[in-house]
Every structure is written in structure tokens, then in C-alpha cells.
Structure 1
Amino acid sequence: ANTDGKTEQPLATRRYPEFFYISGGLAWSPDGGRIAAGAGSFEQNHHQLDLVAVAVNGGETKRLSTQKWHEVAGLAWLKDSALLFAASDERNGVRQLWHLSTASGAAQRITNDVSDYRGLSLTADGGAFVTTQVAQHSDIWTSVPAASEGQSKQLTSGKYDGFYGLDWTPQGQIVYGSTTSGKPHIWITDADGKNQRELNEDSESSPSVSPDGRYVLFASSKEDAVHICRMDIDGRNLTQLTQGSGELWQSWTPDGRWIVYASIGANRNTLWKIPADGGSAPVQITEQIATKPVVSPDGKLIACVYRANHSSPWQIAVIPFQGGAPIKIFDHIPNAYLQTFRWTPDGRALSYIATRDGVSNIWRQDLGGSAPQQLTNFAGDQIFSFAWSRNARQLALARGEISTDVVLVKSLR
């Protein structure tokens, strides 16, 4: 388009299941002839991205990097045609700064720390750039509804404890994702914070404990795509349950017989179920776009993130367990796609995270449509994930802070 926004015309098109990763940013080449972007395909693994250059004249797309990336968060093209970018080279990894030779396709890491980096902006002469450095920590806490911050208890102290999900066992332990050992793995702790230990070095994130407490489901990207795996509660007997183009957001039915999950690959974010032993073919639940399923305590309903079509906003919806049109849609629950939500133990409402002025609390939304009700009374920090205990008396929460600084990097020549 022109600078006034007129004469807009398509430059390049990737049709479903292929896509451009526009949220990772775009960058013009120094000569103005190419635009760098991230690109991927749902038919393969949409968690792995290519860096590509699109020709302004003709729209020809050429791959720039020999390496795949799990997330891209900023691009800048140097005068020597090299590319600077912020990206993660592994799932759930922090985004570091990289230098890419567009001639060879080889990438070299510039930073190697525990911070996240997002966005890049070069000076006019290309000799320096600024980026946003993001520091974060997340700890496991326990609390009870309506308790004040002083009545809550911190159990762990880590960078990402619980950030990648947590759940309770029927025996009152907490299973959670943590990077304490260097990479995301599944850990377990007693409700008083004692006996913290890693369950399995090949486990990753999003733990979900079976109703009888015997198994833990989790998402794993050890293969070419993300799949759902199961292990015993002691970390032994790890088994991959799904074999599709990408599956995660797993949820048990209350009788422990079925596992409901979201297919995120070629099936464009739809809900499916498999038997808990994984021995039979998956059964599709929804035709409409949906993800992040959570089965109700009575097993009759599924709460999920839903959109009517590709141009519609994401919303929290409730559908019958057998599938079909939503019976309830909540369009006021904030940040629907990024939202963590759970059924309340009585099955009459959804609980979710609301963050106001940088402070998060848990809220309750009754299915009947009455006004939301605040359940916790924290005065500081953000909540990243949470879960109700099996006896409905406590909440486990991942709480912490996210801080950002603008960083100037010099001496690029």
C-alpha cells in the first residue's frame, strides 16, 4: 500500500494450512526489494517456523534459515543483508537474540541468558539496536477462596514454576511444570512445599492428573510435532498417546475413561477424544474451531476457547460433551485465547484469571449469566495458572511478576 494507505494489494499469500507468522514482525531488506517474515504450516508442525524472504516484485518466497524456530518475536535486516531476530529454538524456551547469515542460512546466538527478548529496532546507520528484555519469575502458592494475600502460602521459588500448568492429585500433592533443572519438566510437591522432585526428565508441560491419581498427562514436543503423553504418577512408564499432526490441552473425563484434547495441526483447532489407554482411533467432537477443552465435573459439558469462523473473535464457550453448537458463550471473559479457566468444583460456574492494573485474581462466572464474582483478594503479582484441589477447599496458583526493560545493544559492525 502507499503511505496514505491507498492502492492496497496482496504481496504474497499462503493458503491454509500454510501461514505467515505476522505476530513475529516483518522487516524490509536494505534495498527495499524483500520482506523478512516467519512462516509455517499446520500440516507439519505449527510450533516450528521458517524465516523467509518475500520478494516485493512478484511475491516469490525464499527460505532464509536452515534452522527451524518455535517462536519469532522481532526481525531487523542489517545493511550487509544479515538478519537480526529474537526467537526461541525450542518449545517453551526463552526468546534469545540471533544473527543470521542470509547467504549461508546459518544462525548464531548473540545472547545466552534466562531473559526473554521481544522486538528489534535498528538505528539509521545500523550500528546499534534496541530491544525489550523481559524478566519473569513464577512460584507455586496455595490459597483458599476469599483469603487475603497474608493467608496464602508460597511453596516454591523458581523462574517458571507452574507457568506451564499445574494440577492436584487426589492425595493432595501438586504436579506442576518447572524449569528448575534447566528445561521444562514435570515436578511434584507436597501441599506444604516439601518433597519437591522431578518426575521424568522427558516430561515437559501442561500436566493433568487422572481422577484416580495414577497417571499424569502432559504435552511433549520431543518428536516433530506436539503430542499428548502419559506417565505413572511416579514418573515411570512414559507412553505417547496421540499420533496426529499436533495435539495438546488435554483434559480427563471425571470417570477417567476418556481424554479430551485439541488438535492444533491440519485439523485447524478442533476438539477430539481418545480412550485413556490410547488404544483406539481418535473421535472428533467438534467441527467448529475450538481449543483448550476442560471437561465439567459431571462429564456432560466441555468449556473451551471457541470462534465461530476464522474472522470471529475468540470467546469462552460451553458445549455438550457429544459436540454441537455452544449452549453458552461468555464474551466478557478477558483474553479468551490466552485465558486459563477451570470449572468450579460444584460444576455450576467457570473460574478464570482477571488482571487489573498488573494484579491478578481468580473470578467466578456462573453459567446462569449472573455478574462475575471475585474469589481471591491478592494485592500484587500476576497469576499465570491455577487449579482447584480435589476436595474443593484450596487453590494452587502460579504467581509472580513480569518486568520489562528497553536495552540498547551497540558495536554491531
Structure 2
Amino acid sequence: MPVARAEHGSSGSALVAAARQHKAGLGVVVAVVLLLIAAAAFGIYSLFFFARSQPFQSIKITKISGTHNARIGAMSPDGNYLAYVLNTEGNESLWLRHLASESNVQIIPPEHVQYSALRFSPDGSHIYFSHTQLVSGPASQEYDLYRIPVLGGTPQLLVKDIDTNPSFSSDGRRFAFIRANDPDPGKYHLLIANADGSNEKSIFAGPMANVVSDSAWSPDGKAIVGTIFDQAEDSISAVISIDPYTGAQRKISRPPYTVLTSVSWLPDGRALAVIFSSMETNFSRQQVGLISYPDGKLRPITADTNDYANLSVSADGATIATVMRQSVRDVYVSSGLKADYSDARQVSSGDVVPVVAWARDNNLLTEQGSSIREISPNGELKGEIASEKESAAMQPNGCSDGHLVFARRMLKTLSVNIWRSEADGTGLHRLTEGKREMFPMCSPDGKTVFYMDMTVPAYMKVSIDGGQPERVTKDFAEFNAGFDVARDGKTVVLGTYDFKAQRPTISLVSLDSGQVLRMFEYDPRHQGQPRFSPDGKGIVYPVREKGVDNLWLQPLDGGPGRQLTNFGSLKIYSYQWSPDGKSLALVRGDSPSDLVLIQNSPGK
């Protein structure tokens, strides 16, 4: 019956019945009905929208067997294959793995090269890669882009001097990439080229201080996003969006207290997969996360003790391929009684130690978390110094007068400045006021502190009491790797870069005039920063052969270089001679790695 249906039917029926009795309220009732319909529709939409827009809430991580020491990896669009680069005793080779059958095919045999970029073409028919030749002449450090059919063949050179992965348009007809310091030293360019490398065109340029570390072309073709260093307020990195047609730029994400590196779109264009590090680990470990688009909010996918590098996403958005690393870095000390330092013994274990330096009292200074530790040459903990709740201390160095200098990151502002303290960490005094000043080192007389201003970038010096900083030299718009001060305090050795010759160099600079006295070619196998030998007659730096680092000496008189240490394993990440020049402290270790798949597990 009509009344019964009205009483026991839906709320909408009841409202219609009431409207028949009260015609004056019909407009209000209609409005309420429409609101109810809208609310129901929104509820249904939200149920599907939010479920769909929150991928990788639950994940499954699978290590790919047979990919130990894989340095770079990329997933094919269909998710069936992985291309990867294996490093074997310093030589690198390109491989293809079929995931279902677990079979591996070598595409390019081992060569004395170093790969950088690695991507599949959107149709999955070709692999794009870049590498540089490590030859017995001046190292160019210029990576050239090639492509090769997935089943192998002859690599085809497409683009010379490419500094990021190629990022393809959705139709696969073009790709974007970054080129740094060419043709303009101190600047980078975002370029677009055809899939065969032809018709290069620069669409955007910016300063090297904010260089794009990786880029990704959006699925709808309307934006190329990139991760940049961009310190402001509570952020260190940002994601920028560049219009591929006009070059117009805008920032779309500034996750607080976070450094962003690799980036790749999810196929629906609603999120970006990123590699990031955060203040929680003092930026020492990289993790995988998602940045929602366009609101720019970061959500971690992984949160473990591993370290992740580079990533790619399958076309269905269900799988992320990345490299998982587990760093091992320990302190070793040699008495120097043996000429090849073969008596170096391990004095730390378990903690990943970034750097080591000597204090005046013959103890060692290391980093641990956000503080500086002092240990004896036998590894005994002497104390924790320069530890503050609102900051992170790092890169310590001892001065001849007993002072300690170090870089200190303030957690609220994220500025990194050079600080001085007494040997026990008391008497803190800030020496610089910039945004990103790092790697301090005292002059032999303890009166001057040298450091790098990473925002210029430039080598700088300032009084141990503070004051106005000065540039050590104006001859270089860019540095390459580190510096050291001679024991006589008259010269400094700088890792520099010769833009005309396109190669890294070593420069001796007068501290009085700031003029370059001499310039040397680096051994192309070099790793890490140069230092003066204890007797001041040569320059020392690590050289890597077959995946093992040893210290080599390059005499200042032009004589042939020679090997100082004779280690049979591990890499060198930091080293320094004691104040008397007899003992040698090093940080040695390795970063074993494997390819892993991070799969979305929505059913969990």
C-alpha cells in the first residue's frame, strides 16, 4: 500500500511523500535529496579513488638472485625483464634478465668502463645506456648515450655528454636529459632530443648549485619533473616541473628535511616514485618513497637499514625495481712502520663510519649518527663530543693548537656552517654564516680554517676566530674532489676540473696570492680527495683497480707515480696521516648490492 511503502521504504521516498503534503517545502526537500545523492556518489568515488591513489601501502621486497654487485638496474615497461650493470673487479658489463625463467643474458661483455644511465625504450625494444671509458690517459668523465636492441647487437651512439637518465615522452619519440657545464661552465641545461639522438634542443637552463639530479617526463606529456638541491626554510631538496614546450618552471614539492635524488612517474600520473634520505638518519641512508601529484606530499615506502639507489617503475605501476645496498665502513690504523702500510688493523666494527681524522692528542675523530666520537688508535671510545639536540655535527678535524673544527647542521634551519670548539667539545663558536659550508680543515699553525662553500661552489678560508671569509682562488668555477693544506702552510692542493679539456685535474695554489702554481693530470683511476704526502714532496690519492682501492703517490717533480699501499680488498672512503706524519688512519669498506623488486601488495 502507498502508506506502507512510504513508511518502510527509503528515506528518499519518505521525503517525496512529505513533499506532497507540504508543497511549500518542495524546494528544500529537492535540495536535500540532491545532497544525499551527491554524498552517496562521493562516498563511492572516494572508496575507489583513495584505494587507487594509495599504492605501495603494503609491499613485498624480492631480492633477485644472481645480481650480486649490480650497480644499476632498470625494468622493462611490461615488467618481464630487468636490464642491469654488473661490476666485476672494476670492469662493468650489461645484462638482461627474464624474471619468469630467471635466465640471464649478457648484452655487452665486461669492459673497463663506468655506466651511469640505464633505461628501456617505452616499447621495450631497446636499452638506452650511458658510460665513460676508463682508459690509461686523461679521464674525461663525460658520459655518452647509446642504445642497443634488447637481444644484443652493435651499440649506436646517440648523444655525447649526458649527465642523467634519458626520460622518454609517452609516445617514445623523444627523450629529455641534463647536460652540466657544457657549453656554459657553472650552468646546466635540460635538453630534448629525438629518440635517435637528433635535433637536440635546450628548453631550460639553471645554475649548477641547483642542478637537476634526475628527471622524468609525465605520462600526459605536459611536464618534465626533476629533483634539485634547493635549500630554503625547512627544505633541502625540491621537485620542479618544467613545461617541455615553453620551459616554464614551477616547484611542486618541498618535503621538509629531505634530500631527493632519483625520480620516476607512476603510470597514472598521480604519484612519483623517488629515492630520498632524511634527517632521521643524518641523511646517511637512502630509502624509497612516493610523492603524490600534484599536491607534492612524500610518503615513505621503505623504512629499513638498507640503502637504495636508482629506480624504475613497470608500466602497470605495480612494481618498482631498485638497487639495495648494505654499506660496511670501518676504521683502520697503520703505525707506518711498514712502507706499504700493510700493518693496518681494523679498530672499529658494526657502525658505518663516513670519515676519520686525527686529533692533536693522537686520538681519532669519527662521525657517529649526529655527533662526533673520539677513539684511541686501538678503537677504545674516549668520549662523544659536539653533540647537541638541535644539530648534527660531522666532518671533524683537529687543529695543532688543540681546537676542533667541524661542520654543523642546524635541524630547524638546515643550514650547514663551520664551527670551532675546544678539544672536549666545549666552547662552541660558529665561524661562518652561509647556507652550506662543509669539509673544514685547519692550517698547520691553527690560525686559519679552510672549507668548501657548496652554494657557490668555491674553496674558502676564514680565521679560527671567525670574521669575513675569503676565497682561496677565483680561478675555478667548479671543484671536483677535495683539498689539502701543505704542512708548510704555503700551498693548497685542490681537486679541480679543466672545462676546456673536459677532464679532472689537480691544482697547486699559492695561499698568499691565490694563483695557480702548477696543474697536474689525475690518474684516470683516481677516487676521493688528494692529500699532500707527509714529506710534502708528492700528492696522494686513492686509485681503484679491479674494485680495490690503494693509495698512490704522484711526485711533484714530475716523476712517475707509484703505489703506496698494497691492500687486496675493499675501497677507501677517507684517510689522513697523523700530525707527525708517521701513522695513517683510513676508512675502508664496501657496499655489496643486489637488484630488488618492490611489489605492491594491496591484499595485505
TM-score (norm 1): 0.89
Q: 1:195 to 1:409 in 2, by over 3 A?
A: closer
1:85 pairs, out of 259, 274, 277, with: 274
1:113 equivalent in alignment to 2:304: yes
**What CA distance in whole angstroms lies between the structure 2 residues aligned with 1:393 and 1:18?**
39
Aligned residue number for residue 216 of structure 1: 404
- 1:247 deviates by 1.7
CA contact (8 A) 1:250 1:262 kept: yes
Measure how far apart 1:232 and its partner are: 1.6
| Partner residue in 2 for 1:27 | 216
User: Counterpart in 2 of 1:314?
Assistant: 504
1:69/1:102 Cα in 2 relative to 1: closer, same or farther (>3 Å)? farther
**Counterpart check, 1:173 vs 2:363:** yes
Secondary structure in 1 aligned to 2:536? Answer: coil
TM-superposed deviation, 1:195: 2.8
Q: CA–CA distance in 2 between the matches of 1:227 and 1:335?
A: 32
Code of the residue aligned with 2:360 in structure 1: it is P
Distance between the aligned counterparts of 2:522 and 2:500, measured in 1? Answer: 19
Q: Determine whether 1:61 maps to 2:249.
A: yes
Q: 1:126 aligns with which of 309, 317, 325?
A: 317
Alignment of 1:93-108 (within 5 A): 93-108=284-299
Q: Verify: 1:325 aligned to 2:480, yes or no.
A: no
* Alpha-carbon distance change, 237 to 301 in structure 1, aligned in 2, over 3 angstroms: same
The one of 73, 76, 91 equivalent to 2:261 is 73
- Name the CA distance, whole Å, in 2 between partners of 1:201 and 1:334: 39
Name the counterpart of 1:140.
331
Instruction: Extract unaligned runs of 5+ from structure 1.
Output: none
Q: Give the Å deviation of 1:371.
A: 1.3
Cα distance in 2 for residues equivalent to 1:284 and 1:129: 45
Aligned residue in 1 for 2:471? 284
**Which one of the candidate residues 194, 202, 208 is aligned to 2:380?**
194
* 1:281 CA drift (Å): 1.5
Q: Could you tell me which residue of structure 2 aligns to residue 2 of structure 1?
A: 194
* 1:88 alignment partner, SS class: strand
Q: Distance in 1 between matches of 2:290 and 2:500?
A: 34
Deviation at residue 148 of structure 1 after TM alignment: 6.7
Q: Deviations over 1:127-151 (max 9, x none)?
A: 1121011111111111145567863
Cα gap change, 1:288/1:245 in structure 2, threshold over 3 Å: closer, same or farther? farther
Partner residue in 1 for 2:17: none
Tell me the equivalent position of 2:205.
Answer: 13
Distance of 2:487 and 2:597 partners within structure 1: 51
1:186-218 superposed Cα distances (whole Å, 9 cap, x missing partner): 111111111343213235221110012x22111
Partner residue of 1:352? 541
Equivalent-residue separation in structure 2 for 1:152 and 1:18 (angstroms)? 39
CA RMSD of aligned residues (A): 2.4
Q: 1:231-290 CA distances to partner (integer Å, 9 max, x unpaired)? A: 22112222211012432222211111111222222xx22222211111x21223211225
For 1:51 and 1:287, the matched residues in 2 are separated by 31
- Give the whole-Å Cα distance in 1 for the aligned partners of 2:454 and 2:366: 23
Aligned-residue offset at 1:302: 0.5
The equivalent residue for 2:550 is 361
Give the match's secondary structure for 1:243: coil
Q: Which moved more, 1:80-89 or 1:4-13?
A: 4-13
Partners of 2:492 and 2:510 within 8 A in 1: yes
Q: Post-superposition shift, 1:412?
A: 6.3
Alpha-carbon distance between aligned partners in 1 of 2:380 and 2:224, rounded to the nearest angstrom: 52
Match in the other structure for 1:237 = 427
> SS of the residue aligned with 1:224?
coil
Q: Which residue of 2 aligns with 1:340?
A: 529
Shift in alpha-carbon separation, 1:305–1:293, aligned structure 2, 3 A: same
Structure with greater Cα Rg: 2
The 1:133–1:99 alpha-carbon spacing in structure 2 relative to 1, beyond 3 Å, is: same
Deviation at 1:409, TM superposition (A): 1.0
CA displacement, residues 95-141 of structure 1 (integer Å, 9 cap, x when unaligned) = 11111111322111111112221111111222112101111111111
Of 91-100 and 374-383, deviating more is 91-100
CA drift at 1:169: 2.1
**Counterparts of 1:402 and 1:17, CA distance in 2:** 28
Q: Which amino acid aligns with 1:339?
A: G
Q: Gaps (5+ residues) in structure 2?
A: 1-192
Q: What is the CA distance between 1:386 and its match in structure 2? A: 0.6
**Are 1:132 and 1:407, in contact at CA under 8 Å, matched by a contact in 2?**
yes
Classify 1:78/1:381 alpha carbon distance in 2 versus 1 (closer, same or farther; 3 Å): same
What is the aligned partner in structure 1 of residue 226 from structure 2?
Answer: 37
1: CA distance, partners of 2:538 / 2:437: 26
In 1, Cα distance between the equivalents of 2:328 and 2:210?
A: 32
Contact (CA 8 Å) 2:219, 2:265: kept in 1 or not? yes
Equivalents in 2 of 1:72, 1:311: separation in Å?
31
Matched residue of 2:516: which SS? Answer: coil
**d(CA) in 1 for partners of 2:204, 2:218:** 16
CA distance in 1, matches of 2:601, 2:203: 31
CA gap 1:412/1:316 in 2 versus in 1, 3 angstroms: farther
SS in 1 for 2:224: strand
Distance 1:73 1:66, change over 3 A: closer
In the aligned structure 2, how far is the partner of 1:194 from the partner of 1:246? Answer: 32
Matched residue type, 2:566 = N
> Is this contact kept in 1: 2:329–2:590, CA < 8 A?
yes
CA contact (8 A) 1:344 1:351 kept: yes
**1:308 offset after TM fit, Å?**
4.4
Change (3 A) 1:310 1:225: farther
- Report the Cα distance in structure 2 between the residues aligned to 1:20 and 1:295, rounded to whole angstroms: 29
SS of residue matched to 1:49 = strand
The CA distance in 2 between the partners of 1:286 and 1:403, in whole Å, is 39
